[in-house]
Structure 1
Amino acid sequence: MKRRRRIVLAVLVLFAAATVGAGAFFVDAVRSREAERAALAAALPPAAVPVAQPRQATGPLVALTFDDGPSPQRTGYVLEVLKQKGVTATFFLQGDHAARHPDLVKRIRDEGHVIGNHSFTHPTFPELTPDQAREEITRTSEVLTEITGTAPTLFRYPHGESSAAADEVLAQERLSPGVLWHWDSNLAGDFECPGAAKVRDYVVAEAVDQAAILLHDAGDTVDCPIEQWDYLPQAIDALKAKGFDFGVVELADRPSAVNQGSSIRVAVPRTGPGAA
């Protein structure tokens, strides 16, 4: 009886050892196959992932830039014309207006246009204290970031009037040091309410390659006759007929001789109606 038990026990021990050995062999085999797959994957060329590239400009580039908005009176009309004409623009938004009309800010964003900071209340910066200048700039960036989810990188001074204190804030906030524009013709701008034909002529006269053209979708233009707004589709058609293409404002690493020394360039848009 004892001898039979010893035999049974020996058989069980041998069976257990064989099972463990087989399990270890199976694990090693799996690991070996995984290592082979990893080596093969590493040896394969990287997958061809298409990278979105901006389209090529079809002619000299100009940027339509709209200040002081958004406004319920005019911004919607401007957006509709831009959509119909296939143009992406740059909007320098006033913080208090943006806070009152976040739906329009979101629409500007959703339709692919570029959004910049244009201060909170449109003050004359040389008249502000350093603390007031900081409040005007940072408060607007906070409002725009909260509404759009993206912090602006472009800043345009109201009236183009800068101050040393504000320039310091712009540097600290990593905002452009003031985006100016091209204005050589001395023709009346839209805020002077000269009428559709004269605003159209102003836009066409200011159009040179890399020009940022100053326009408005709020502020004084709200009080201009409604008929003046016919200038926008007319000006776009006239510039296209002259071979111009439309871009957006971007930061650049050198001053622009076209735009009063601002460190900007006009680039082909990657989003919006003009990107296709």
Structure 2
Amino acid sequence: MPYRGVLPSMALLLAFSGFPVHTGVPPDMGMPYHKEAAVASSVHQEKDRTAPTLSMLRKKHADIFKMCGPHTRQIALTFDDVPDSRYTPQVLDILRANGIKATFFIVGRRAEKHPGIIRRIVREGHAIGNHSYTHPDFRKATPERFRRQITKTERILQTSAGFRPKLIRPPYGEITEPQIQWARRHGYMIVNWNVDSLDWKGLSKTQIQRNVIPATGPGSIILMHAGGGQSSNLRGTVQALPGLIRSLKARGYQFVTVPRLLHTSERR
């Protein structure tokens, strides 16, 4: 997958934690490696060690940084990296057939290409959130680039959906404290997840259902995907979704949008 480039060795951690774990960033292999670069890399790694972890940030900013909802029988299906013309319409068809409302986190560059799909998402009663314009790792973004990624996508969604969403899902689940503070000042809510389907890996229907169904509990926010690049394979997602919905309904769960789960507004 072009967007979720997580190290294979971290797959087990991802399955249990529900979000990527930061292991440091290797030096840029495209740059000359000299003494100054080595010093800069060392300083960067030291900053990484002293920076708050995602767990620490969630606890400190628990009012606006969420990974799950209240302990009720309500749960939320969420779909990242949308829209695209291959998988997003299929997922929407399945949700409509099952009477399910979900939450779609929109990549601005893709929304520019498929405004009609954005309008369909909103028209059919689903919620939307901001997933950046080009899906960068926010940890590596300057303050200016971070703000542009959010505000540019907002302007696109204002045109296609008719409003600016309150929810932000940072790509890879990664965000820094200054970025959270900016989001707070401007009335946003950060939403990650606590159940990861790992469907971006091109997993089979059975593998995806095994990743999601046993891990889902009261108030869970489930991460899936309904869009991707040309090399992405989300056929397993499309195949797994009907059975996954039936199984979780049979366990007594009610599917709701993230704004409803978190008792917040969809719009900023």
Contact 2:77 2:255 in 1 (8 A): yes
**For 1:249, which of 253, 258, 262 is the aligned residue?**
258
| Residue 203 (structure 2) pairs with residue 194 (structure 1) | yes
Distance 2:201 2:142 in 1: 29
Q: Cα RMSD (Å) of the superposition?
A: 2.4
Aligned length, in residue pairs: 195
Distance 1:64 1:226 in 2: 17
Matched residue, 2:192 = 180
| Residue 67 (structure 2) pairs with residue 67 (structure 1) | no
State the SS of the aligned residue for 1:223.
coil
Matched residue, 2:51 = none
Residue 201 of structure 1 aligns with an amino acid whose one-letter code is: R
Normalising by structure 2, what TM-score? 0.67
Distance 1:100 1:113 in 2: 20
CA spacing shift, 1:227–1:203, aligned 2, 3 Å: closer
CA spacing shift, 1:147–1:70, aligned 2, 3 Å: same
| Residue 89 (structure 2) pairs with residue 76 (structure 1) | yes
| Runs of 4 or more above 4 Å deviation | none
Matched residue, 2:19 = none
Contact 2:199 2:236 in 1 (8 A): no
CA spacing shift, 1:195–1:220, aligned 2, 3 Å: farther
Contact 1:181 1:214 in 2 (8 A): yes
**For 2:123, which of 97, 102, 110 is the aligned residue?**
110
State the SS of the aligned residue for 1:107.
helix
Distance 1:83 1:169 in 2: 36
Pairing 1:1-276 to 2, within 5 Å after superposition? 60-176=73-189, 178-183=190-195, 189-219=198-228, 223-224=232-233, 226=235, 228-250=237-259, 265-266=261-262
Superposed CA offset, 1:237-256 (max 9, x none): 111111111011128xxxxx
Q: Which structure exhibits the higher relative contact order, with contacts defined as CA atoms closer than 8 Å and separated by 6 or more residues? A: 2
Pair member with larger Rg: 1
State the SS of the aligned residue for 2:147.
helix
Structure 1 unpaired stretches of 5+: 1-58, 252-264, 271-276
State the SS of the aligned residue for 2:213.
helix
Normalising by structure 1, what TM-score? 0.65
Distance 1:66 1:232 in 2: 11
Identity of aligned residues (%): 34
CA spacing shift, 1:191–1:150, aligned 2, 3 Å: same
Superposed CA offset, 1:26-80 (max 9, x none): xxxxxxxxxxxxxxxxxxxxxxxxxxxxxxxxx8111000001011010000000
State the SS of the aligned residue for 1:219.
coil
Residue 133 of structure 2 aligns with an amino acid whose one-letter code is: F
Superposed CA offset, 1:156-200 (max 9, x none): 000110023432432343211x201113xxx76111122001111
Residue 205 of structure 1 aligns with an amino acid whose one-letter code is: P
Contact 2:224 2:237 in 1 (8 A): no
